[in-house]
């Protein structure tokens, strides 16, 4: 088992990564924290696969366990759903000495984490991520949020879990489309920080990458942990993790979160930035071709053009906006990235020229 410690003084916690230890997680939680009651928040897909297993294990430990099941999908990450969760927590007399367990992907983790951050001004929560995307990215780092009609993650907080338990074996039940979605975040890490990860990805394809997925998850989690320890509240370094996300979030919103999932949209966001960067001579042709080919190999190359003026409307509501400017992430080369603060007019022209 690989244990990565995210050292944030009083907010420090461990991330456990291994394969095939899912049924041991409740015992590990009990040994570390001794909660009397837990509420498991999960979705209607994951619940069918893993909810009874984990409840049975908690029952053996005499831990009182309730569950709240949300519909699968981004639309559940709402203020309305949050109020239903609060009601459930109150009905089950959850106190500050109890804990919320997020069992699922990024939506579940964000929603459960924000509920934990705000219920009774904060109770413990545990992350048990079940998708590749949540295992390599969203379960680590303490960013929790819900969406508003105007945009994604506009109401949120920095609130860290007490621990993260990653069992790579649960990915065996993941639909291929969701696995591909997670690969977008993996490619992001290769782009911004890790050339060695890029080399691993180029030596495999969508079928063979499963043989090294634990190694990949460890590399991604370690990279994110290092970034978060350096810049917990996203003042600079942590912004690099948003590569492809500014445009990607706008694409998700354009289709009201119904056509493309998060990773598919981020993949398109990275492609937009690559095209614009090539046209502006910010990256060379070899870098561009290598990354476009990588997106293609992992099923993330979509040939779709959007009305840029509509995307810009959504991007102006992005949480990375500062007055009339926005921070964007650019590449120097594969594995090296930087932040540029630009005006909206510049960004629109930059993207438009890249699409021409």
SS3 190: helix
The pLDDT value given to residue 220:
98
CATH superfamily of 176-355: Dehydroquinate synthase-like - alpha domain (1.20.1090.10)
Per-residue pLDDT of 201-239, as tens digits, reads: 999 999 999 999 999 999 999 999 999 999 998 888 999
Whether residue 17 contacts residue 136, with contact meaning beta carbons closer than 8 Å, is answered with no
Per-residue pLDDT of 5-55, as tens digits, reads: 999 999 999 999 999 999 999 999 999 999 999 999 999 999 999 999 999
> Which pair of structure tokens corresponds to residue 303?
């040939």
Whether residue 248 contacts residue 74, with contact meaning beta carbons closer than 8 Å, is answered with no
Return d(Cα 228, Cα 69) in angstroms, integer. 30
Q: Does residue 305 register a pLDDT over 90?
A: no
The pLDDT value given to residue 353:
87
SS3 161: coil
Is 0.85 topped by the overall pTM? yes
Return d(Cα 257, Cα 331) in angstroms, integer. 27
Whether residue 192 contacts residue 331, with contact meaning beta carbons closer than 8 Å, is answered with yes
Alpha helices for 244-339 (secondary structure H): 245-254, 262-279, 285-297, 308-315
Average pLDDT, the chain: 95
Per-residue pLDDT of 315-344, as tens digits, reads: 988 777 777 889 999 999 999 999 999 999
pLDDT classification of 140: cutoffs 50, 70, 90: very high
Q: Looking at beta carbons, which pairs linking 341-346 to residues 24 or more positions away fall under 8 Å?
A: 344/312, 344/315, 344/316
The pLDDT value given to residue 317:
82
Helices (H) and strands (E) in the chain, counts: 14, 12
Tallying the residues shown for the chain, one arrives at: 356
Architecture of domain 2-173: 3-Layer(aba) Sandwich (3.40)
Q: Which sequence positions are flagged as catalytic?
A: 121, 143, 185, 224, 234, 238, 242, 245, 249, 262
SS3 249: helix
Handedness of CA 273, 183, 316, 193 (dihedral sign): negative
Q: Provide the residue ranges of all domains of the chain, joining segments of one domain with +.
A: 2-173, 176-355
Return d(Cα 279, Cα 284) in angstroms, integer. 9
Query: Minimum mean pLDDT among 125-129, 268-272, 303-307: which range?
Result: 303-307
Angle of helix 308-315 versus helix 245-254 axis, rounded to 10: 110
């Amino acid at each position: 088992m690989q244990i990565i410690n995210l050292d944030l003084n009083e907010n420090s916690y461990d991330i456990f990564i291994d394969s095939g230890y899912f049924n041991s997680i409740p015992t590990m939680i009990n040994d570390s924290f001794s909660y009397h009651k837990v509420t498991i928040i999960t979705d209607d897909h994951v619940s069918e696969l893993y909810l009874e297993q984990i409840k049975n294990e908690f029952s053996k430990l005499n831990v009182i366990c309730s569950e709240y099941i949300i519909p699968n999908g981004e639309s559940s990450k709402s203020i309305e759903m949050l109020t239903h969760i609060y009601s459930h927590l109150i009905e089950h007399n959850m106190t500050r000495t109890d804990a919320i367990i997020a069992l699922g992907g990024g939506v579940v983790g964000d929603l459960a984490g924000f509920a934990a951050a705000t219920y009774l001004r904060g109770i413990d929560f545990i992350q048990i991520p079940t998708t590749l995307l949540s295992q390599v990215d969203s379960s680590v780092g303490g960013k929790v949020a819900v969406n508003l009609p105007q945009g994604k993650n506009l109401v949120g907080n920095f609130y860290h879990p007490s621990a993260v338990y990653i069992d790579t074996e649960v990915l065996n039940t993941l639909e291929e489309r969701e696995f591909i979605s997670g690969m977008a975040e993996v490619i992001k890490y290769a782009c911004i920080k890790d050339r060695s990860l890029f080399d691993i990805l180029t030596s495999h394809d969508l079928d063979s990458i499963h043989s090294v997925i634990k190694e990949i998850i460890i590399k991604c989690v370690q990279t994110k942990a290092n970034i978060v320890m350096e810049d917990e509240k996203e003042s600079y370094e942590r912004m690099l993790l948003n590569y492809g996300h500014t445009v990607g979030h706008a694409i998700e919103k354009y289709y009201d979160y119904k056509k493309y999932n998060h990773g598919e949209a981020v993949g398109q966001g990275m492609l937009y930035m690559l095209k614009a960067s090539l046209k502006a001579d910010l990256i060379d042709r070899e870098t561009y071709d290598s990354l476009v080919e990588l997106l293609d190999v992992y099923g993330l190359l979509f040939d779709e053009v959007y009305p840029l003026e509509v995307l810009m409307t959504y991007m102006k509501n992005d949480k990375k906006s500062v007055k009339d400017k926005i921070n964007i992430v650019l590449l120097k080369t594969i594995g090296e990235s930087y932040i540029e603060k630009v005006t909206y007019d510049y960004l629109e022209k930059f993207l438009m020229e890249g699409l021409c």
